[in-house]
Amino acid sequence: MEANLAIMLSRISNVRMNSLSRLHLVLCSSLFWTLCGTALLCESAHSQDPNSLGNQSWSTENGLPQNSVHQIFQSTDGYIWIATEGGIARFNGTDFKIFSHETTPEITGDDICCFTQSPTGPLWIATSDGFLQYSAGTFRRYSIADDLPSSRIINLAAADDGSLLLLTNEGIVSFDGSRFSTIYLPSSAVPSAIATAHDGSIWIASNSGIFQYVRGRILPLPISSPSTPKEIQGIGFLPEHSLWLRTGTSLTVLQNGHSRTLTTGHDLPASRIQSVLAGSQGALWIGTNRGLFALDKIGNHPQAVAPLGSDSILSLTQDKERNLWVGTESSGLQILRPENFRTIPGLSDHLITAITQASDGAMWVGTDGDGLDRWQAGNIQHLSTHSGLLSETILALAPGADSTMWIGTPDGLNHIDGTKIRTYTSADGLPDDLIRSLLSDDDGSLWIGTRHGLAHLQGDRFVTLTHSDGLGSDLVGALLKSHASNSRDLWIGTLDGLSRLRDGHIKTFTKTDGLSGDTITALAEDPHGTLWIGTKGAGLSALTNTGVISLHRNDLPQTIDSILLDDLGNLWLGSSRGIIRVSAAALIRCGLLSTCDPHPVSYGRADGMPTEEAVGVGHPAAWRTTEGLLWFATRKGVAVTDPTHLTENLIPPPVVIERFTVDGVDMPLTSAEQNITPGHTSFAFGYAGLSYVAPAKVRYRYLLEGFDQQWTEAGSRPIAFYTNLPPRHYRFRVQAANNDGIWNETGAQIIFNVRPPFYRRLWFLPLVLGLAAAIALLLYRLRVRGLQSQFQAVLAERNRVAREIHDTLAQSFVGVSVQLELTSQLLAHSQPDAARKQIDQTRTYVREGLAEARRSIWNLRAITAQNSLPTRLTRLADQSNQKNLSVRLNITGTYRPLAQPFEDEVFRIAQESLANAARHANATQVSISLRYDATLLILSISDNGAGFDATENAPASSGHFGIQGMRERAAQIHAQLTIESSPGNGTIVTLAAPITEGKEAAINA
């Protein structure tokens, strides 16, 4: 060895002092001084027995994709990643998230090899078909198509500068994030293992020695010795820069100038070494095909870890909380956790009722139906009714003088002195055979709590105190002798309050004096003289020099079955929900203030207790030994802890937000603010605190900034819900505490913005105002247009009435006027008979005019369609036939009813034309033609009268409105009116009116 050291020193002196060689020199110097040190492995101050660790396992039945675990890795965000032959599993302590070919297209091969990650880089994953980069929830695959020399990757290693080395079956490949490069070792050495050292460099083991990879340079390390193995399959590091090298059948440790090689079959009862891990507390864990072994010192023999049996161990790792993770070949994933409690194997599965310690140090344990056990130095002596006990059920224990023991049962009192057992019953003076509690006094007497009072045994004489003597109740429970006062008070817990016996006088305290409850279940006194009082259903109380303090707090058990104090000032409270440890001073300081946190710590099955039901039906249900250990009675044996050597988890758990959903739809988990469209009502946040010591004890609190006013204590619930969030910016924050109440106050967060609906945006109000103004303007214009339409309708109606009057009343009045003039002339010429005829004709014209006037008035009141257009024209022609005027009517085409207003206008035009022919043109013949075409109605009226010049329109001022009225009527029905006439050639009036579907339908309306 000295020769090897000299060679190593000479090699170090020849190294040039550049930046890389200085790093190399520092590393080699540290190795030199390490090799010159002591021969012991670095051992922690309080290393634990490997077989005292708690064990938990997961397999495919618990969500693991496959039971062969090739590697376990904790990423920088705190997740545990598991490489199996069925894909990748990510574990948060409670649930597995599986990534495989079925769920992730980037994974083309489910046989996963290994993981690696630099402190600030992404996670790298080697598979049977290339390797993957995982970052921000997404995968990217690299394969031979990306110039990867070989898809079969044996191992990965990442340096602290972000560089990545891949050990393949064809050599070592470096990857800088975009390009692969093959690395060649000196002297054609063949690499066989790689690992990242404590300083962030990568070490490479080969068949020709050990090399170091630093920023692209390969540096040889002078540590070769006769003990250095060949065919190295694994390389790793112990504290103080020591080194271990693993082959398939041996493990060599190079440390502090010493080396030791462990071989299979000789040092290890296995045929193959498959994994090695240097624990953070100095132990070396060795995984073989026949189980797990621990080596705490280099000279010691490896110790088998019993909880794992003979499982084949493929992988080992230790997380940041110092939990040991074990990957097996066929049994899935295992975890070994340090536990603060242990059990006594021979006392397991018994319902323990009472515990005490005799003066010789032996522990006495009473059970419910299984008798009495005496435990000392691992040996158990069992006592029962066959040994002389009155009952198999033990309700109370009290140590006597000289290692004797008092035992209370439902059937009386026993006293054990060596091999002698004496019995006392009610026949001997006991007030009741059912003994509920016992207390040995310093004067050698015994206090006995029963259902019928408190008995005091002095010698062989019993004295009984009852409710009539001042006790709160005859039903007596816990007993305590105070050592803090000169009066040496005796405290007696009863069903109806706490009684104090002082100098022969009894005083009872109840809820009226400040106690949290009247049913007293447990008593304890601290060195300051404070009396701690446990109650049933009402929590904890404290009696100090200043009075009674009620501590009915939600973070403490409400029914307390036992109370113990340790040397550190902590209270230990036993209950049906486990054991609580809390600072007595903090409890006094906080009192009932909910805003003050005394930081109670709970213990249960995850801490090694056989059950959380630390319920003792007898007294005392817990005991502090002379060695300072605390023993608690449970329903499945005893739970023992050493309060001075507690394993405390002081690492705040990493917190991650695993899911953010809006109305059940997953949203991306990014650090950037996300915009949520309006109309969504349900928001859910799933989160996890990544603590693996006791995942069930992780506690959460969350706050939605922008909505919540204070933190919401969520307990162990890993999800938060919100509904109907108003539009604004939000930041959801979540924090987590581990099993010992250490909070990660940084936590995790996600930022999002609920966008308002369009009607709540800034531009919407001006838009609404503008639209309202536009609508108001439109309504105004519509109103004006309506008024104009009404005016035009009134004007049209006035014109129509004018036409009606012209065509009816005016014509009748003209006829009457003409007749009267003729009558006047006839009378002037003394022709009374002719005048009489004219008067008769005048009467006819008047009647006809009145009839026309009545018809016009009726048309003003309501539109009627009793007569069709052909019928009306026929009647008009018949009425117009006179002695001097012949009217012929010809109707052709297929008749179909038309709208009443349409027919009225046509009829009025025909009526006006016929009247003009008779009265103005002095015609003797008039021909009327009405023809129904498919889309046209043609009315033609021709006469042989005097005619007129059609190019000149008679001015309206002359009082003749006939032709003008005809034209207006034609315009009303969108018809074309043509008047052809010349002096002496008669007149032809032609009306061509289009027939539309609306006009036809309107008649039936």
Q: Picking from 478-487, 553-562, 647-656, which range would have the lowest pLDDT averaged per residue?
A: 478-487
Write down the residue that tokens 């939605």 correspond to: 704
Query: What is the DSSP secondary structure assignment for residue 187, as one 8-state letter?
Result: G
Residues 345-385 have pLDDT tens digits of 888 889 999 999 999 999 999 999 999 999 998 899 999 99
Laid out side by side, the sheet with 242-246 consists of 234-238, 242-246, 250-255, 258-263
pLDDT, average across residues 745-757? 94
Burial of 1003 (0-12, 13-18, 19+ CB in 10 A): middle
What pLDDT score does 14 carry? 37
- Alpha carbon dihedral 602, 606, 607, 610, in 10-degree steps, equals 100
Beta carbons of 153 and 119 less than 8 angstroms apart? no
Strands 743-754 and 674-676: parallel
3-state SS class at 612: coil
Q: How many CB atoms lie within 10 A of CB 505?
A: 9
pLDDT of residue 226: 54
Q: Are 574 and 614 in contact (CB under 8 A)?
A: yes
CA distance 541 to 560: 11
The predicted-structure confidence for 293-328, as pLDDT tens digits, reads as follows 998 877 788 999 988 888 899 999 999 999 999 999
Looking at residue 795, its pLDDT comes to 81
Helix (H, G, I), strand (E, B) or coil at 757: coil
With 50 as the cut, is the pLDDT of residue 32 above it?
Answer: no
615 pLDDT band (50/70/90 cuts)?
Answer: confident
**Residue listed under structure tokens 């995984």:** 287
Q: Is 222 left (phi over 0), alpha (psi -120 to 50) or beta?
A: beta
Q: What is residue 920's predicted lDDT score, i.e. its pLDDT?
A: 81
Residue 983 burial by CB count (10 A; 0-12/13-18/19+): exposed, middle or buried? Answer: exposed
Of 323, 197, 284, residue with least CA distance to 651: 323
End-to-end CA distance of the chain: 124
Name, in order, each residue with C-beta under 8 angstroms of 542's C-beta and a sequence gap of 6 or more: 530, 531, 532, 533, 548, 549, 551, 587, 588
Among 42, 33, 43, 46, CA closest to 5 = 33
For residue 5, pLDDT over 60 is answered with no
- What is the side-by-side strand order in the sheet with 412-417? 396-399, 405-409, 412-417, 420-424
* Residue with tokens 């190294």, as numbered in its chain: 15
User: Both tokens of residue 918?
Assistant: 């008779």
Paired tokens of 273: 């070494």
Tokens 């015994």 locate to 446
Percentage of residues in the chain having pLDDT higher than 70: 90
Q: Hey, what amino acid is at 180?
A: F
Beta bridge mates, 432 = none
**801 burial class (0-12, 13-18, 19+ CB within 10 angstroms)?**
middle
* Distance (Å, whole) CA 149 – CA 183: 11
**Torsion (CA) 587, 591, 596, 600 in degrees, nearest 10:** 30
Peptide bond preceding 620: is omega within 30 degrees of 0, i.e. cis?
A: yes
Mind listing the pLDDT tens digit for each residue in 818-864? 778 878 887 888 888 888 887 887 887 777 777 777 666 655 544 44
Confidence of residue 950 (pLDDT cuts 50, 70, 90): confident
When mean pLDDT is compared across 222-226, 336-340, 609-613, 632-636, the lowest value belongs to: 222-226
Residue 739 CA, distance from chain mean position = 22
Per residue in 853-898, pLDDT (tens digit) is 766 665 554 444 457 888 888 888 888 887 678 889 898 888 888 8
CB atoms within 10 A of CB 227: 15
Average pLDDT over residues 505-530: 93
Sequence-separated (6 or more) residues with CB below 8 Å from residue 933: 893, 995
Which conformational region is residue 730 in: left (phi greater than 0), alpha (psi within -120 to 50 degrees), or beta? beta
Residue 954: CB atoms within 10 Å: 13
DSSP code per residue over 274-291: EEEEE-TTS-EEEEETTE
Q: Are 425 and 412 in contact (CB under 8 A)?
A: yes
Q: One-letter amino acid identity for 143?
A: S
d(CA 612, CA 633): 11
Q: What six digits make up the tokens of 219?
A: 């540096």
Token duo for residue 744: 């990660």
Amino acid identity, residue 205? A
Do 877 and 928 form a contact (C-beta atoms < 8 A)?
yes
Compute the distance between CA of residue 709 and CA of residue 642 in angstroms, rounded to an integer: 42
> Contact 926/887 with Cβ under 8 angstroms?
yes
In 459-558, where do the E strands start and end?
461-465, 476-481, 490-494, 497-502, 505-509, 520-525, 531-535, 540-544, 547-551
Flag whether pLDDT at 511 surpasses 80: yes
Among 622-626, 691-695, 960-964, the minimum mean pLDDT is found in: 960-964
Q: pLDDT per residue over 675-690, tens digit each?
A: 999 989 999 999 999 9
Q: What is the Rg, in whole angstroms, of the alpha carbon atoms belonging to the chain?
A: 56
Count the neighbouring beta carbons within 10 Å of the beta carbon of residue 568.
11
Burial class (CB in 10 A: 0-12, 13-18, 19+), 483: exposed
pLDDT at 461 over 80: yes
Task: Enter the DSSP assignment of 846.
Answer: H
Assess whether pLDDT exceeds 90 at residue 790. no
Give the pLDDT mean for 35-53. 46
Six token digits for residue 667: 């949203």
Looking at residue 485, its pLDDT comes to: 63
Instruction: Report the chain's mean pLDDT, rounded to a whole number.
Output: 86
Q: pLDDT tens-digit profile of 72-127?
A: 999 999 999 999 999 999 999 999 999 999 999 999 989 999 999 998 889 999 99
What percent of the chain stands above pLDDT 90? 55
Per-residue confidence (pLDDT) for residue 859, from 0 to 100:
57
| Residue in this structure with the two tokens 């990957």, named with its chain if needed | 327
Tens digit of each residue's pLDDT (9 = 90 or more) over 688-722: 999 999 999 999 999 999 999 999 999 999 999 99
pLDDT over 50 at 25, yes or no: no
> Looking at residue 957, what is its pLDDT?
42
| Model confidence pLDDT, tens digit, residues 399-438 | 998 899 999 999 999 999 988 999 999 999 999 999 999 9
Tokens of 656: 């991650």
* Sign, Cα dihedral of 959, 965, 967, 968: positive
Taking the C-alpha atoms of residue 128 and residue 84, their distance in angstroms, rounded to an integer, is: 11
| Residues paired with residue 157 on neighbouring β-strands, in sequence order | 165
Q: How confident is the model at residue 16 (pLDDT cuts 50, 70, 90)?
A: very low
- What are the Cα distances from residue 930, in Å, to 59, 80, 888, 893, 1000? 103, 102, 11, 8, 17
Nearest Cα neighbor of 218 from 252, 258, 184, 195 is 184
Half-sphere exposure of 611 (CA within 13 A, CB side): 17
Helix or strand holding residue 702 (H, E): strand 699-705
Q: Where are the alpha helices (DSSP H) in 505-645?
A: 584-590
Which of 437, 491, 493, 452 is CA-nearest to residue 618?
437
Mode of pairing for the β-strands spanning 69-74 and 202-206: unpaired
Write down the pLDDT at residue 883. 65
Bridge partners, residue 701, by sequence: 713, 735
| Averaged pLDDT for residues 537-553 | 91
For residue 886, list its beta bridge partners.
Answer: 925
Number of residues that this document lists for the chain: 1005
Q: Dump pLDDT digits (tens) for 129-185.
A: 888 999 988 999 998 888 888 888 999 999 888 889 999 988 999 998 888 999 999
Kind and range of the H or E run holding 917 = helix 900-919
| SS3 of the chain: helix, strand, coil, percent, to 5 | 25, 40, 40
Residue 4 has pLDDT above 50, yes or no: no
Under 8 Å between Cβ of 578 and 559: no
816 Cβ contact partners less than 8 Å away, ≥ 6 residues apart: 842, 845, 846, 849
Q: What gap in Å lies between CA 519 and CA 541, rounded to an integer?
A: 12
Whether residue 959 is predicted with pLDDT greater than 70 in this model: the reply is no
Say which residue the tokens 């049906």 belong to: 576
- List the structure tokens of 908: 């009025």
Query: Is 70 exceeded by the pLDDT of residue 556?
Result: yes
